[in-house]
Amino acid sequence: MNFPIEYDEPLFRPPSEARSLIIQITLGCSWNKCSFCEMYTSKQFTARKEEAIFTDIEAFAPHTAQIKRVFLADGDPLVLSNDRLIRILNKVTETFPNLNRISTYASPSNLKRKSDEELRALKNAGLTLLYVGIESGDSEVLECIQKGETFETTIEGLNKSKTAGMHSSVMLINGVGGKLLSKQHAINSAKVLNATQPKYASTLVLTAHKGMPHYKDRYKGEFIELEKKELFEEMKLFMEHLELTETIFRSDHASNHLILKGILGKDKQKMLDQIDVAIQYSEQYSNVGGGY
């Protein structure tokens, strides 16, 4: 069978959406400034025409029985108006009646800009899971990486979506603030998670896709890369400050040197013990990532 639609490449989705149908409703990212992110730097942000989106959705109508999950791409579809988003969500749910989940990427600012009623309407229309790359909970780190968020906006955005009944999967970057901001990055990231209690949280290790000099150029401040042992120490400090009740935690992205999986709080001590072993043997540790 030929794939029924053509994507505007590059196309990204979270690892856990590997079995989902991906529908591009916007192209690129309207922000497109984060110093570590090269996902959409080749694209100009565009809101796709509704007609084209509906044609893509209808192309999968013959496969409706198999389609259980839909992921709306690219970077931040929630910049669209609610009216438009709800028409798209209705089209998705009408076409695929066996769906059990619609998800998308979202930023805290996207969420902050929607009213409580608008977020609830999106949830009621089927959008139940948001992937939110918060990267850090520390305002200084967020400024250096040009994220356009702060400690406060991140908490506000995440809690607004939670109040609307949506789940969130929060992503953080180990090492993103370098040596100089490592401690505050770890502690304030834990504080953001404690204040928002997300359903899922994960960490990945900073990867400079276009090389470290390029990352440093885009980083607004002095950046000194963490050594492997320091990355583990940052994870330890972060984990020590977490007070989560039932967050499913993963650090199994291919970039991670140490794979951690569990439920926080229940598995906190177990994960701390694993980090301690990694610190102890950090010199011998090879990159054993590749969980996806």
- Site for ligand SF4, rule CB under 6 A: 29, 31-34, 37, 39-40, 75, 107, 133
Min dist CB 270 to ligand SF4, Å, is 31
Concatenating the DSSP letter of every residue in 129-195 gives EEEEEEE-S-HHHHHHTT-S--HHHHHHHHHHHHHTT-EEEEEEEETTTTTTTHHHHHHHHHHHHHH
Smaller CB separation from ligand SF4, 32 or 194: 32
Min dist CB 41 to ligand SF4, Å, is 8
Smaller CB separation from ligand SF4, 40 or 238: 40
Smaller CB separation from ligand SF4, 177 or 236: 177
Smaller CB separation from ligand SF4, 40 or 96: 40
Min dist CB 280 to ligand SF4, Å, is 33
Min dist CB 107 to ligand SF4, Å, is 5
Give the residue carrying structure tokens 């090389």.
211
Beta strands, E only, the chain? 21-24, 26-27, 46-47, 69-73, 101-105, 127-135, 167-174, 200-205, 247-251, 260-264
Min dist CB 7 to ligand SF4, Å, is 16
Q: Which of 157, 147, 163, 156 has its CA nearest to residue 172? A: 147
Smaller CB separation from ligand SF4, 12 or 285: 12
Do residues 161 and 109 make contact, with C-beta atoms less than 8 angstroms apart?
no
Q: What is the DSSP letter of 71?
A: E
d(CA 28, CA 12): 10
